[in-house]
Amino acid sequence: MIIVGIETSCDETAVAIYEGDVATGKGELLAEQVASQIETHARFGGVVPEVASREHLLALPPMVESVLAEASLPWSRVDYIAVTAGPGLMGALLVGTSYARAAGLVHNIPVLPVHHMEGHLLAPGLAGALPEFPFITLLVSGGHTMLVRVDGIGSYSVIGETVDDAAGECFDKSARLLGLPYPGGPEVALLAKGGDRKRFGLPRPMLNRDNLDFSFSGLKTAVMYAVKNAGGIESFDLQAMKDMAAGIEGSICEVLVKKSVRACLREDAPRLVIAGGVAANQTLRSMLFKLAESKGVEVHLPHPKHCTDNAAMIAYAGFQHLFAGRNAPEEWDATPRWTL
Binding-site residue positions for Fe cation:
116, 120, 309
308 binds, among Zn ion, ligand KG4, none (CB under 5 to 8 A by kind): ligand KG4
Asked if 2 contacts 81 with a C-beta cutoff of 8 angstroms, the reply is no
d(CA 74, CA 133): 36
> Which C-beta is closer to Zn ion: that of 104 or that of 142?
142
Asked if 106 contacts 61 with a C-beta cutoff of 8 angstroms, the reply is no
- Whole-number minimum distance, CB 106 to ligand KG4, in Å? 30
- Whole-number minimum distance, CB 58 to ligand KG4, in Å? 20
- Whole-number minimum distance, CB 79 to Zn ion, in Å? 25
Asked if 20 contacts 27 with a C-beta cutoff of 8 angstroms, the reply is yes
Q: Which of residues 270-309 bind ligand KG4 (CB under 6 A)?
A: 276-278, 280-281, 308-309
Distance of alpha carbon 72 from the chain centroid: 29
> Which C-beta is closer to ligand KG4: that of 19 or that of 172?
172
Beta bridge mates, 162: 214
Query: Of these, 84, 141, 174, 281, which contacts Zn ion (CB under 5 A)?
Result: 141
Closest CA to 315 of 94, 24, 31: 31
- Choose one: 57-65, 141-149, 240-248, 285-293; the region binding ligand KG4 (CB under 6 A): 141-149
Asked if 97 contacts 83 with a C-beta cutoff of 8 angstroms, the reply is yes
**Contact between 86 and ligand KG4 per CB under 6 A:** no
Query: Of these, 309, 312, 316, 334, which contacts Zn ion (CB under 5 A)?
Result: 309
H or E stretch covering 300 = strand 298-300
Inter-CA distances, 305 with 32, 71, 127, 247, 265, Å: 11, 19, 11, 26, 28
- Choose one: 27-35, 210-218, 224-232, 309-317; the region binding Zn ion (CB under 5 A): 309-317
Point out which residues bind ligand KG4 (CB under 6 A).
10, 141-143, 168, 171-172, 183-186, 189, 276-278, 280-281, 308-309
